[in-house]
Amino acid sequence: MKPQHDISFDLEVARSVHHSTLSVEGIRCASCIARIEQTLGAEEDVQHVRVNMTTSRLSITWYGDEGRVHDFIQILTRMGYHASRFYATTSTSHEEDNASDEASFLLRCVAVAGFAMGNIMLISLALWTTTSQEMGASTRELLHWISALISIPTVLYAGRPFFASALGALRHKHTNMDVPISLALILVTFMSVRETLQQGEHAYFDSAVMLLFFLLIGRWLDARAHGKAREAAQQLLERMRGEATLVLEDGSLQQMAIADLQEGDVVRVTMGEKIPTDATILAGASEVDQSMITGESEPRMVEVGDDVYGGTINLASPITCRVMHESERSVLAEIVALMEHAEQGRARYVRLADRMARLYTPVVHVIALITFAGWMVLGNAPWEQALMIAVTTLIITCPCAIALAVPVAQVLATSWLMKRGILVKGGDALERLSEVDRVVLDKTGTMTLGNPSLLELYDVDYWHRAASLAAYSKHPYSRAISTSFQLYYPDDPLVEIEEVEELVGLGISGRYGDDHVFLGKSDHPHPSGRYVAFWVNDVLVHEFLCADTLRPDAHETMQWLSAHGYDPIILSGDAHHAVEAVAHEVGMIPWRADMLPAQKAHYIMDVQMQDHKVLMVGDGLNDAPSLAAAHISISPASAMDMTQNSADVIMQRRSLSGIVDALFMGRYSTAIARQNFALAIGYNVFAVPLAMAGYVTPMIAAIAMSSSSLIVIANSFRIARQRSQL
């Protein structure tokens, strides 16, 4: 009987997964984030939605039709936000223009409110220091009307950032933090006009304008701080913009936008210019500053055939390059995408802040209503006083400090690491790094550079034949034998070997003329390297001594890890003598040799069963089981390999000190996030009861509300001032 075929399984597999990043304007607070994520997350086949408040970008993943991204944009538009697809090479310029326009408008509003506040304060000084009998009712009424003529236009003009946001939210049947702020401004102004019309003793126009002024100051400083936090990513994106010099088929040169370059285009890069996108050198040799990509300050020598990264700087001679792919697929674009992904991670404190943000708007209005009713009923206060206290309560509550507690720290921490050539791929990687208490390291390609070289010169005849055979293999030791021969004897071309066969784990064999040749493992150990045996017609005729180079700072890194209680250990598949030599060279740390990949993974799982959190440092390709088993993983890798690498963190520097930087920043940034969270919650727990009790004026509430966000941001900026530990 023919087995039944599961069509539903095929349909599930056939559904493609799509991801897009949107730039969203109009996000004001954590309530906005919660509503956007809830609305889009409820859409069919949407797998993941995350909004980054610091960058105002939305990351969304879904199954099915790629064109659904336009539906998501329309949903956001109906919700009152302006959204568009984010493209690294073009969108950032638009975002920067919008941010600049918003900052300029806020600054104008601050200036108008400040000017009005200064004038009204002069009038209020006279009003509050004299009684109506001393001043005269007519004079007091005149001063009230002058205050009204100054304050009402000021509130209408300078309050637009809050009113527009609040109206947009209400129009689309939801609320944000600007709703209670706008309500407070309107209530204070309305109460002041009513008092003036009824020729009351006191009006509160000064309170309305001062409240507006300090709210605007806070909003403007907040926008500046957000821009500062995004600087590192913006600097990367700036390298992706501009023009390149295109070499046409007839040899003439033409300027072209970097965003328009296509795979296969030929470009010319002169001294001091940036390389427009990832490319392969066709002509010329030079030095390239790739510190922005790798964190290495030492320039890299490049020549014909070498790959170069977009955004790096040509320091010396002109070079001609062939474009490998358009800038949207460049290493630089991938780094920016990884940073975005890391910054949008749902760490433990982010999830907690999200839950609190969803409750903010309804809770704050209920608290204000209870405050008003309590003062009216239990406190027997005049309705004007009860209303002012309720308004103060509306103003003083601040969800922004809670919403910013973790994201700002994440943005600054990932930027700090990126500048040192360390790329964080996982969204909660920083938090997991902070939990690590054990470090496991592979040897080859991790403790060492993974590029063995010959330690001696050999008989040219045997070396020539061995190098010719080795050229057919990609094994690191084969490459060392072949490359070294070509380096020392560039005029002696390698010969053709017939019947080549590579025997996995043993070596490579072939036929050279009438001789059978074999290159493979030797039984002779060496304390600092490995012998590779060369056999001709089953006779051992020569042995080549190869050794790998230990990474810079390996000794200092192991000493730091040991001193800070991480108990590093080397797990390697190499022979005992080779692993022991490396362990001895870096400070006699524990080691295990002849381990298979599965054995490494089981060792890590056993350690974690003892309530430890393990960081695995491996090459990301051969150590996939160990990387997956560990609590978090780091891999030394080139930028070109980072998307294929399964590790959570990619370390592009040659030195091992990146492990120290990653562990330090993981702990430090998580500590900062906890401090921010404690500050934000502590502020609301302390400030709200004071406001409800009537001990705070609206002006002080505005200052306190703005200050709470700024304190959280300022505390986060301590991250940017930290130095590398080694």
> What's the angle, vertex CA 297, arms to CA 293 and CA 299, rounded to 5?
85
Q: How far apart are CA 341 and CA 425, in angstroms?
A: 7
Q: How far apart are CA 73 and CA 81, in angstroms?
A: 9
The residues facing 510 across adjacent strands are 517
Eight-state DSSP code of residue 16: P
Backbone angles phi, psi at 652, to 5 degrees: -95, -10
The residues facing 453 across adjacent strands are 547
Measuring CA to CA, which residue among 274, 271, 281, 279 is closest to residue 240?
A: 274
Measured in whole angstroms, the distance separating CA 615 from the mean position of its chain's CA atoms is: 20
Q: Quick check: is 442 catalytic?
A: yes
CB-based contacts of 493-499 (< 8 A; 24+ apart in sequence) = 494/464, 494/467, 494/468, 495/464, 495/465, 495/468, 496/468, 497/468, 497/469, 497/472
Measuring CA to CA, which residue among 413, 82, 99, 98 is closest to residue 233?
A: 413
Place of tokens 């795979």: 263
User: Residue 264: which residues within 8 A CB-CB, separation 6 or more?
Assistant: 322, 323
694 φψ region: left (φ > 0), alpha (ψ -120 to 50), beta (else): left
What the block records as the tokens of 378 is: 């239990």
Q: How far apart are CA 186 and CA 179, in angstroms?
A: 11
Q: How far apart are CA 495 and CA 465, in angstroms?
A: 7
Measured in whole angstroms, the distance separating CA 438 from the mean position of its chain's CA atoms is: 25
Measured in whole angstroms, the distance separating CA 27 from the mean position of its chain's CA atoms is: 19
What pairing do the DSSP bridges indicate for beta strands 539-547 and 422-424?
unpaired
Measuring CA to CA, which residue among 75, 20, 24, 80 is closest to residue 54?
A: 24
Which of the following is catalytic: 178, 428, 442, 661?
A: 442
Q: In what order do the strands lie in the sheet with 614-617?
A: 422-424, 649-651, 632-636, 614-617, 438-441, 569-571, 591-592
173 φψ region: left (φ > 0), alpha (ψ -120 to 50), beta (else): left
Measuring CA to CA, which residue among 75, 80, 318 is closest to residue 176?
A: 80
For 365-428, the DSSP string reads HHHHHHHHHHHHHTS---HHHHHHHHHHHHHH--HHHHHHTTHHHHHHHHHHHHTTTEEE-STT
189 φψ region: left (φ > 0), alpha (ψ -120 to 50), beta (else): alpha
- Return the half-sphere exposure (C-beta side, CA atoms, 13 A cut-off) of residue 91: 18
651 in Cβ contact with 724 (< 8 Å): no
Task: Measure CA of the first residue to CA of the last residue in the chain; give whole Å.
Answer: 69
The residues facing 286 across adjacent strands are 302
Catalytic residues: 442
